[in-house]
Structure 1
Amino acid sequence: MGDLADFVNGPNGLNFQNLSPPVQTALMLGLSALLPAALMTMTCFTRVVIVLSFVRQGLGAQNVPPNLVLTGLALFITLFVMQPTFAEIDQKAYQPYLQKQITGPQAFKTGTDIYKQFMLRQTRKQDLALFLHLSKHTVEKAEDAPFLTVVPAFLISELKTAFIMGFCIYLPFLMVDLVVSSVLTSMGMVMMPPVTISAPFKILLFVLADGWHLVTYAIALSYG
């Protein structure tokens, strides 16, 4: 599969300028239905929401914070992290297009190239090489990889990074569980569930360490 920009602008691809306005409107409405999937797979939302889920799981609080709060926090952290990329696209692609300095296809290609640079910075070389091998593409440098090949490579890189961060977050909570379990066993209270006793201590440890601040800082720092 070729690059997304080639598919849209190429001679054998889809050229929006040759379509009638009603067809263009219908296509735009259809593409808008893909925005939630793009948000989850082509931004840092995946990493953020998985790391926050690990925090909640480590605390042992299954419904605190609620899913809606966790998703909302992940969404706004995502918008904060993605802001420089969106601003660059606006400055170099969208605004020149509105001022009629470049054409629609040129603006689209410029925007996808900028966004691809963001994904490549977070993509591991072996993950990109995997999908280049599967798609039978040979490129001299990563920037030449097709857009639709970079996306899945970026996604599995995000998943791996999120699980590594989640593991590091989970370890302190696991240590609290082990200590509480050892104390209960030494006291002969083997029938007492350790989670019941350790949960308040884990919450107290998280609050005293200003956990939400540290987790948010770590997520933002992981994107440079």
Structure 2
Amino acid sequence: MAQVPDLNSLIPAGEGSAAGRIIQLVAMLTVLSLAPGLLVMVTSFTRIVVALSFLRSGIGLQSTPANLIMISLALFMTFYVMAPTFDRAWKDGVQPLTRNEISEEEAFTKITDPFKEFMQAHVRDKDLKLLDDLAVEHMQLKSENGEVSLRVLIPAFMISELRRGFEIGFLIALPFLVIDMIVATLTMSMGMMMLPPTVLSLPFKVLFFVLIDGWNMLVGGLVRSFF
């Protein structure tokens, strides 16, 4: 006779029924699969990668540095900026959960609290109010005990980060635009109509960025913008 194993023996022990624990496992696997997207949404990655993209576009280099280099630099800068938040989430939420000292619900709260504090420290009040008003008006979602829901805080934080990233990008691209205008004026005055100004301005822009130690200034400015 075939033996049908008990479902409770095939899944990790925990509170609730076997079906409830299966749903928890599926939800946990879903969160882990969405981890790259969550990294973009709730950390400093958005502002950093937008600023680096403006830098490459301002210089006029389409593939240098390569996308792998740019994304890797943005990731490691994100880990550097978010280190206190990651450490707190790990010590207060993940480690007690792996030791079965707290429940999944309590662990979720302790893990998300550091990220909520980080987002609330950098979100614009105007963006937060906009999303909060829209949630109350169209989805009937109200803040509980004065706390902002993640469904409201995350999109507001992303909008704020995009705005700051574009502000930084404007400041990055402005000097290179001036160099392009100077070179274009000189080439036009010399009658060099057939030579694209970008061909002549590219070496000057690269030289200018190297002479001012641009990478040091950019990385330092981006990191300081979060503190």
Task: Give the structure-2-normalised TM-score.
Answer: 0.84
1:198 corresponds to which residue?
Answer: 201
Amino acid across the alignment from 2:86: F
Provide Cα deviations, 1:14-72, integer angstroms capped at 9, x if missing partner.
xx842535443333222222112111222111111110000000110101011111111
Aligned length: 208
Native 8 Å contact 2:58 2:176 kept in 1: yes
The structure showing larger relative contact order (alpha-carbon pairs under 8 Å, at least 6 residues apart) is: 1
Q: RMSD of aligned C-alpha atoms?
A: 2.0
Q: Does residue 75 of structure 1 match 2:75?
A: yes
Map 1:3-22 to 2 at 5 A: 17-20=15-18, 21-22=21-22
Unmatched runs of 5 consecutive residues or more in structure 1: 1-15
Which segment is superposed worse, 19-28 or 82-91?
19-28
Identity of aligned residues (%): 40
Query: Structure 2 CA distance, aligned partners of 1:118 and 1:165?
Result: 20
Q: Does residue 162 of structure 1 match 2:165?
A: yes
Unmatched runs of 5 consecutive residues or more in structure 2: 1-13
Task: Give the structure-1-normalised TM-score.
Answer: 0.86
1:3 corresponds to which residue?
Answer: none
Map 1:88-103 to 2 at 5 A: 88-103=88-103
Work out which of the residue numbers 187, 207, 212 in structure 1 matches 2:210.
207
Amino acid across the alignment from 2:198: V
Q: Does residue 188 of structure 1 match 2:186?
A: no
Larger Cα-atom Rg: 2
Deviation (angstroms), 1:139: 4.8
Q: Does residue 59 of structure 1 match 2:59?
A: yes
Which segment is superposed worse, 152-161 or 41-50?
41-50
Query: Structure 1 CA distance, aligned partners of 2:49 and 2:180?
Result: 24
Which segment is superposed worse, 182-191 or 94-103?
94-103
Amino acid across the alignment from 1:204: L
The verdict on how the C-alpha distance between 1:28 and 1:49 changes in structure 2, with shifts beyond 3 A counting, is: same
